[in-house]
């Protein structure tokens, strides 16, 4: 950490400052006698040994303890020659705390403290309790301070590890959520397009089979419409790969796509009326897609479950809102409970509308048909002229 780096450099600088201060004190008090020169030579060896460890710190690895032992041995010899160098024990105590375990550090701290006490007692003119208590107090404060720094550093590192672990967990959770959302999206797409398209093709081919002998032209017309539905579904399948806009809206407006949707029925399909109210204004692609898919799902339910003869789709461009209403005159139902294995359609419609801040309302009663209303808020004015067209199977 940044604080630990600065602390290390402070101790290294402090070590050399103490060496220089001790050397100057030695020279000023004793002059350049033989003992002083010998002490200065040992001091230079100690400075060089310490510098080698600092420069080669990362390469030493586990050999740092050996390096510390060599530095401590040279320092001990220097103290024997010149006791004034004893205060270099403080940086050495810091190194012991960094490199040794608790038991070894306790032994090293005791030895360093005793050496300092002995050296200070040797050079003192008279012995007093401060010569013993001061080194013990300094060693204790230094050890406690470094221990506390290490404890805070360890706690901070643990917090950082927890944060990293939490971030990875959140990333995994977001990934899983994204996978589930993508699966849900593909399920809606398959339900609203491929499944319903295959159903339409099945109805058309069955109708062609029933009238093949009696009316070959009508049968071929049904087959051609089934082929068109197959081509549209192939386009939908390719869109899954390209993730493009629905082919049902490519190059057409939403009302035109709805008109084509209403025309894709067979002999057994109900007659569908399409009403477009209000002046058309541009809609976002997501809104158009959602409304088209809701209409597809609603007509599929009318065809498969309602037993209706007629259905009406009303697309209304209102001020600040676009609505899509689908009404059929079929059997209706008392409870919106799906049949076993079915019923994904309404939930898919609601989910799709929720993606564009829309809502879905369903009203039905036995024998009174079903009304489905999709409402999506949009910016943009509209006026209320009405035009109507009827599209259905003949």
**pLDDT given at position 86:** 86
Kindly state the tokens that stand for 223.
Answer: 């087959």
- To the question of domain 180-391 being in CATH 3.40.640.10, the answer is no
Mean pLDDT is lowest, of 87-96, 251-260, 329-338, 376-385, for 376-385
What's the number of CA atoms in the CB half-sphere (13 Å) around residue 337?
Answer: 3
**pLDDT given at position 241:** 59
Cα separation, 151 vs 157, whole angstroms = 10
Cα separation, 178 vs 161, whole angstroms = 25
**How do residues 298-352 score in pLDDT, each as one tens digit?**
888 888 777 788 889 999 999 999 999 999 888 887 655 444 444 557 888 888 8
Mean pLDDT is lowest, of 1-10, 25-34, 144-153, for 1-10
**pLDDT given at position 246:** 53
Cα separation, 141 vs 126, whole angstroms = 26
Cα separation, 299 vs 262, whole angstroms = 8
Query: If we measure between CA atoms, which residue out of 93, 1, 17, 77 comes closest to residue 45?
Result: 77
**3 state SS of 32:** coil
**pLDDT given at position 392:** 41
**How do residues 105-128 score in pLDDT, each as one tens digit?**
888 888 888 888 888 787 776 767
Confidence of residue 386 (pLDDT cuts 50, 70, 90): very low
> Is the predicted pLDDT of residue 245 greater than 60, yes or no?
no
Q: What pTM was estimated for this model as a whole?
A: 0.42
Q: Where are the domains of the chain?
A: 2-127, 180-391
The mean predicted confidence, pLDDT, of the chain is 79
């Amino acid at each position: 950490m940044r604080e630990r780096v600065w602390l290390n450099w402070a101790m290294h600088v402090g070590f050399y400052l103490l060496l220089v201060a001790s050397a100057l004190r030695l020279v000023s008090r004793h002059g350049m006698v033989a003992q002083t020169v010998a002490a200065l030579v040992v001091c230079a060896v100690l400075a060089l040994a310490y510098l080698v460890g600092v420069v080669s710190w990362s390469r030493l690895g586990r050999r740092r303890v050996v390096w510390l032992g060599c530095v401590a041995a040279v320092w001990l010899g220097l103290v024997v020659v010149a006791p004034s160098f004893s205060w270099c024990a403080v940086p050495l105590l810091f190194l012991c705390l960094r490199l040794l375990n608790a038991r070894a550090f306790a032994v090293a701290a005791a030895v360093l403290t005793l050496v300092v006490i002995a050296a200070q007692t040797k050079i003192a003119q008279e012995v007093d309790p401060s010569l013993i208590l001061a080194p013990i107090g300094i060693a204790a404060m230094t050890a406690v301070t470094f221990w506390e720094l290490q404890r805070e550093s360890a706690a901070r590192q643990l917090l950082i590890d927890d944060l990293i672990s939490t971030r990875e967990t959140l990333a995994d959770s977001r990934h899983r959520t994204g996978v589930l959302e993508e699966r849900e999206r593909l399920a809606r797409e398959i339900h609203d397009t491929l499944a319903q398209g295959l159903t339409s093709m099945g109805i058309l081919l069955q109708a062609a089979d029933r009238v093949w002998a009696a009316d070959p032209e009508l049968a071929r017309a049904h087959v051609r419409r089934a082929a068109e539905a197959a081509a549209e579904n192939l386009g939908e399948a390719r869109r899954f790969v390209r993730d493009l806009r629905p082919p049902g809206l490519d190059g057409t407006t939403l009302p035109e796509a709805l008109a084509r949707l209403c025309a894709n029925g067979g002999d057994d399909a109900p007659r569908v009326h399409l009403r477009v109210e209000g002046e058309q204004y541009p809609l976002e692609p997501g809104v158009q897609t959602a409304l088209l898919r809701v209409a597809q799902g609603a007509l599929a339910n009318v065809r498969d479950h309602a037993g209706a003869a007629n259905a009406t789709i009303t697309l209304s461009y209102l001020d600040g809102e676009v609505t899509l209403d689908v009404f059929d005159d079929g059997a209706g139902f008392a409870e919106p409970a799906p049949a076993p294995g079915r019923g994904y359609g309404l939930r898919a419609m609601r989910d799709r509308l929720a993606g564009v801040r829309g809502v879905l309302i369903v009203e039905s009663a036995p024998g009174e048909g079903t009304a489905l209303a999709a409402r999506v808020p949009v910016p943009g004015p509209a006026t209320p002229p009405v035009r109507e067209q009827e599209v259905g199977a003949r």
